Structures are given as structure tokens and as C-alpha cells.
Amino acid sequence: MVTKRRVWQIIRNVILILVALAAGFFFLFVPWFFSNLGTSGRFHYPDPNDGKTPISYGMSFKWVAFPSSDGLPLRGWYVPTG
């Protein structure tokens, strides 16, 4: 026969499990969902200048590359004034 104390222990354990699941939902799933929503490609609106160079706008330019003072390679365009 199940005692009254055992019933309360089972109820307490079920409540603790539900609280742990709710905490995991609110502290793990909800932040992951909103960070994924804000950073996914679905909401990226492409820049109209993607893939274009200054020559697309009738400007002359040169590709330049050189290392920075800490050794990182820097690349870009040199557009002379006109």
C-alpha cells in the first residue's frame, strides 16, 4: 500500500521535474530561438552593392594588399582622386 508520504514525494518529484523543464525552456531554448531569429539568413536583406567594384560606377581603381603592423593581411581598393 502506498503511504501518504510516498504520494507527496512523487508529487514533489514530478513538480521538480516540470520546474526544471520549464527553466531549461526559458533559459536555453528561448534565448537560442531569438538569437537565431535575429542572426539567420532569412532576415538578411542583401546590400545592393554586393559584388560590385568601383569600375561598376565608372571609377578607376587598383587592388592593393599589404600586411598590418600586427601581421594581418589587409586588402582593398585604391581609388585615385580625379
pLDDT tens digit sequence for 3-27: 999 999 999 999 999 999 999 999 9
Question: Are 12 and 33 contained in the same domain?
Answer: yes
Residue 14 to residues 1, 26, 38, 44, 52, Cα–Cα distance (Å)? 20, 18, 35, 43, 60
| Number of structural domains the chain divides into | 2
pTM for the model: 0.44
Q: CA-CA distance, 9 to 72, in Å (whole number)?
A: 62
User: What is the pLDDT, as a whole number, of residue 72?
Assistant: 94
Q: CA-CA distance, 5 to 34, in Å (whole number)?
A: 43
Where does the pLDDT of residue 57 fall: very low under 50, low under 70, confident under 90, or very high at 90 and above? confident
Question: Are 37 and 59 contained in the same domain?
Answer: no
pLDDT (average), residues 68-77: 93
Structural Rg of the chain based on CA atoms: 30
Q: What is the pLDDT of residues 32-53, one digit of tens each?
A: 888 887 776 566 667 776 778 8
Domain span at residue 78 reads 47-82
Q: CA-CA distance, 37 to 30, in Å (whole number)?
A: 10
Question: Are 39 and 71 contained in the same domain?
Answer: no
Question: Are 65 and 29 contained in the same domain?
Answer: no
